[in-house]
Amino acid sequence: MDCIFCKIANKEMDALTIGEGDLTITFLDIFPHAKGHAVVIPKTHRETVGDLTKEELAALFSAVQDAVQLLGHALQPDGFTIGINQGKAAGQAVPHLHVHVLPRFERDGGGSVHSVVNAPSEEPLAELREKIVQSKQKKMVG
């Protein structure tokens, strides 16, 4: 597999690593969008959140928490934006799940997660909820 994040996880490629566990690795993004912009990945190739085992999911978000604490202590940011781009339509450039941890500073020019997209459903929320609940019930039965 020719996955850049797998190569980093397998130590076949160097990265500016700031944290590592049995199931995850955290490193500075080489194309940072903020001072201290880090990326947390599972060491095993997984493309989406849904592909993770429960153990991998817990380890991933524990590593995100560690990154926030480490970057917070080192850089003293005013906040953090933490996000996942899942799928090409969402901007996932590397098809290996990764969580962006971006330290945020007053007047850094960035927006909230809400600024990424503004295309609310035209369908009434109650109808949308019903569709979601019915889909969940079908999945549990099937």
Look up residue 61 and give its two tokens: 């978000």
How far apart, in whole angstroms, are the C-alpha atoms of residue 87 and residue 100? Answer: 15
pLDDT surpasses 80 at 138:
no
33 carries an active-site annotation: no
Beta-carbon contacts of 95 under 8 Å, excluding residues fewer than 6 positions away, are 3, 47
Could you give the percent of the chain with pLDDT greater than 70?
A: 97
Instruction: Give the structural domain span for 44.
Output: 4-141
User: Cα 99 from chain centroid?
Assistant: 2
Q: Taking 80 as the threshold, does the pLDDT of residue 12 lie above it?
A: yes
Distance CA 91, CA 68 (A): 23
In this prediction the pTM is 0.92
Residue with tokens 């799928």: 87
- pLDDT score of 137: 78
- Residue 92 CB neighbour total at 10 angstroms: 16
What gap in Å lies between CA 72 and CA 60, rounded to an integer? Answer: 18
Q: What is the tally of structural domains in the chain? A: 1
User: Which CATH number do you get for residue 39?
Assistant: 3.30.428.10
Q: What is the pLDDT of residues 107-132, one digit of tens each?
A: 999 999 989 888 988 999 999 999 99
Q: Taking the CB of residue 38, how many other CB atoms lie within 10 A of it?
A: 27
Q: What pLDDT, in 10s, does the model give residues 28-55? A: 999 999 999 999 999 999 999 999 999 9
Which one is catalytic: 37, 98, 100, 114?
98
